[in-house]
Amino acid sequence: MKQSTKHNLFTLLGIGVFLSISIGTGYSGSVERIRRDELKADKDGMPGEQGLQKKVVLAPNIKMTATIEVTTKGNGLLQIGNLRLAVYDSHDDGIYYENWLLNIDFADIDGDGKREMLISGIVCFTDDKGDKVLRREAVVYIYKLQSNNRFKQVYTNTSFRIDE
């Protein structure tokens, strides 16, 4: 057998083992996302209000409830653990988010066995009338779950704030 064929075989075998372990546990290496299509009309609220409650697995024995509430004005907050973050904005009052909801992903990016929360997207800054986008800014926020089960922001590429 050629050396490159052996290398490819071992690489494929390693990937297969990794995937079987990941799929078997339903956690390791997987990414969980909160999507805009998961938001549902609030039955007890006013027309236009939306919401979502979702259990998120952050580590093998750690789950938290993520709640998003969107107002009739098109502004919405994510509440999870100790955080309240403005992740939804469809109301053009000088700023809105492309696709309205920022991307919200939970993934173990540092290999410590706990999922970090990654929030990313495009913020659109508009003129006074809201007719014209003056600039778009790509934003990224990373929140790490601490040993006390509280999130701490460990990275951002922007001065734009989403925390309250």
User: Considering the chain, what percentage of its residues have pLDDT values greater than 70?
Assistant: 82
Q: pTM surpassing 0.85? A: no
CA 104 remoteness from chain centre: 1
pLDDT at residue 145 greater than cutoff 70? yes
Give yes or no for a contact between 83 and 153, defined as CB atoms under 8 angstroms apart: no
> Cα–Cα distance between 25 and 32 in angstroms, integer?
14
Average pLDDT for residues 20-39, to the nearest whole number?
A: 68
The domain segmentation of the chain, as residue ranges, is 1-30, 32-156
> Which of the four pLDDT bands, split at 50, 70 and 90, describes residue 29?
low
Q: Given this model, what pLDDT does residue 10 score?
A: 43
